Chains A and B, each alone.
Chain A
Amino acid sequence: GENVEQHPSTLSVQEGDSAVIKCTYSDSASNYFPWYKQELGKRPQLIIDIRSNVGEKKDQRIAVTLNKTAKHFSLHITETQPEDSAVYFCAAIPGGTGFQKLVFGTGTRLLVSP
């Protein structure tokens, strides 16, 4: 089955710096890659997603890139702010399946210091 690895497990940056979180997946048939932000004790919130027919997607300060050949995708946050502090999860869905097969990474705890 699909396996998603996520690095780093923790990331500390200064306000205004950029943050990059990387994930690799094992199933070459995976075709949907969402990213979720989870604040302490709260629900995971979808912040951006990308499908396998696209190499990059941006939404204001957040971007995701996908390299299908290398089977990895990354989340880029620019001009970080203290409110970006949270745990970020990447995920992947194997092709031809649905969210019952959604596999999450282990999460990255991002801390943005003022």
Chain B
Amino acid sequence: DSGVTQTPKHLITATGQRVTLRCSPRSGDLSVYWYQQSLDQGLQFLIQYYNGEERAKGNILERFSAQQFPDLHSELNLSSLELGDSALYFCASTYGTGGNSPLHFGNGTRLTVT
């Protein structure tokens, strides 16, 4: 167990809908990262938060947004969902902002858009 908790495990919704994915980082970790993994694809970085503040953006669509709360948990909001948004969404956490401590992934949320 990595210590990173993601809910829900599975999510099935229709096109045009909005969903929220939740992530609790490992105890003591301040940075949260969101990744998207489409079928048989690699991991694409979406966005990073550090101690409540947005630190970096990757290939995140404007329909997607995220935030990190004072208790350090993070939520990824996906709106106006399209079929192509179906993917595994992983949250990962690490202590700092650099690459000095390992990155640990949660078990992911599998989103299916029908």
Contacts and interface: CB of A to CB of B under 8 A. Distances in A.
A102 B98 CA distance: 10
Contact of B103 (A46, A105, A106, A107): A46
Please tell me the size bucket of the interface on B.
Answer: 20 to 34
Nearest to B97: A98
B39 to A, nearest CB: 11
A101 B31 CA distance: 13
A32 to B, nearest CB: 4
B25 interface: no
Interface string A88-111: 010001000111111011110000
A8 to B, nearest CB: 15
B41 to A, nearest CB: 8
B45 A46 contact: no
Contact of B108 (A43, A97, A101): A43
B48 A89 contact: no
B30 to A, nearest CB: 12
Nearest to A33: B99
Given A41-B110, A99-B94, A99-B99, 15 more contacts: A31-B99, A32-B99, A42-B107, A43-B2, A43-B105, A46-B102, A46-B103, A98-B31, A99-B92, A99-B103, A100-B45, A100-B55, A100-B56, A102-B99, A105-B42
Interface of B: 2, 31, 33, 42-43, 45, 48, 55-56, 58, 88, 90, 92, 94, 96-99, 102-108, 110
